[in-house]
């Protein structure tokens, strides 16, 4: 742990680590987050090994940015040297709208406002509130675009488990959640229990993927994934095998999540910004 993050140098009056954690969790819920966990910073060694194996198999395809900043991905102190606690949040984005049978389907996550802005705005509000209480507090907000392993932190914080489709599944909201982190420079009470993997023998997501992108439980070959082909790939044309199995998807794909039993009872989100923008569920191809 970096020497410049000594707790003794901070002015954090009037609360123990347990009390501070409870206050921060309560404020996060007030700001609209649906799940919150707090964990101690650590080197994500096992997760780094899995990432390196995935990259070595070429499963990242043309996403060269996945090969950059690899040390930062498993080391929170490289992102924020003063890190003493990692606050991990999940925000339900499910809205009870359905795709039509027409081509032009857009992934549910992109129906409403940009989640980077929504989650980031809430985390920045949380950090500002923390600084008001404890002026010596500092932190860093991470929402996807920073080289942090969001899913790994969510699992460590007890928000859910990693599903066979490689998305984090929560008991309350299934995998219809966005994840973010707030790295803080002081100690808090930490979550010490993980949620057990509850996928069991289910293989619905593997069986339903029309392109066979989930090559084995918990492992996705991006090069076969419809979401990769319609969002991340910069190739002039979509691969013929994927194009023949698009099933109407224009931007992203939700098939593996749509069939997941844990996603059948997700309550609608109370975040209005995730309501679909006009014509964004099934936009006209014309």
Whole-model pTM over 0.85? yes
Give the DSSP letter string of 23-44.
HHHHHHHHTT-SEEEEE-----
Q: Kindly report the number of other CB atoms within 10 A of residue 165's CB atom.
A: 23
pLDDT confidence bin for 9, thresholds 50/70/90: low
Query: For the residues 108-114, what does the mean pLDDT come to?
Result: 97
Q: Point out the least confidently predicted range of 7-21, 83-97, 262-276.
A: 7-21
| 154 alpha-carbon distance from chain centroid | 7
Just list the catalytic residues: 144
pLDDT in tens, 166-200: 999 999 999 999 999 999 999 999 998 899 999 99
CB 169 within 8 A of CB 159: no
- Sorted by where each begins, the domain ranges of the chain are 13-195+266-274
Which of 5-9, 106-110, 145-149 shows the lowest mean pLDDT across its residues?
Answer: 5-9
Q: Does position 125 have pLDDT exceeding 60, yes or no? A: yes
Q: Which helix (H) or strand (E) holds 88?
A: strand 85-92
The DSSP bridge pattern shows strands 249-251 and 105-106 to be parallel
Q: If you search the block for the tokens 């999540």, which residue do you land on?
A: 257
The 10s digit of each residue's pLDDT in 210-268 is: 999 999 999 999 999 999 999 999 999 999 999 999 999 999 999 999 999 999 999 99
Percent of the chain with pLDDT over 70: 96
CATH architecture assignment, domain 13-195+266-274:
3-Layer(aba) Sandwich (3.40)
Quick check: 96 and 268 in contact, CB under 8 A?
A: yes
């Amino acid at each position: 742990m970096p020497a410049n993050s000594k707790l003794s140098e901070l002015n954090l009056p009037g609360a123990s680590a347990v009390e501070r954690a409870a206050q921060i969790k309560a404020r996060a819920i007030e700001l609209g987050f649906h799940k919150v966990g707090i964990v101690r910073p650590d080197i994500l060694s096992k997760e780094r090994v899995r990432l390196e194996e995935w990259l070595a198999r070429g499963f990242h395809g043309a996403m060269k940015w996945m090969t950059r900043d690899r040390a930062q991905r498993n080391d929170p102190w490289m992102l924020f040297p003063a890190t003493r606690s990692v606050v991990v949040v999940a925000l339900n984005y499910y809205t009870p709208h359905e795709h039509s049978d027409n081509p032009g389907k857009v992934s549910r996550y992109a129906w409403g406002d940009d989640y980077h802005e929504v989650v980031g705005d809430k985390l920045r509000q949380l950090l500002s509130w923390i600084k008001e209480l404890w002026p010596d507090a500092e932190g860093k907000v991470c929402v996807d675009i920073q080289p942090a392993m969001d899913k790994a932190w969510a699992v460590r914080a007890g928000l859910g488990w990693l599903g066979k489709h490689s998305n984090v599944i929560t008991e309350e909201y299934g995998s219809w959640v966005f994840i973010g982190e707030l790295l803080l420079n002081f100690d808090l009470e930490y979550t010490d229990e993980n949620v057990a993997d509850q996928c069991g023998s289910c293989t619905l997501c593997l069986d339903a993927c029309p392109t066979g992108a989930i090559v084995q439980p918990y492992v996705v070959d991006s090069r076969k994934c419809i979401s990769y082909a319609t969002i991340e790939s910069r190739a002039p044309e979509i691969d013929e095998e994927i194009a023949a199995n698009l099933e109407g998807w224009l931007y992203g794909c939700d098939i593996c999540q749509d069939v997941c039993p844990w996603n059948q009872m997700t309550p609608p989100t109370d975040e209005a910004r995730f309501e679909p923008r006009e014509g964004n569920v099934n936009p006209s191809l014309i």
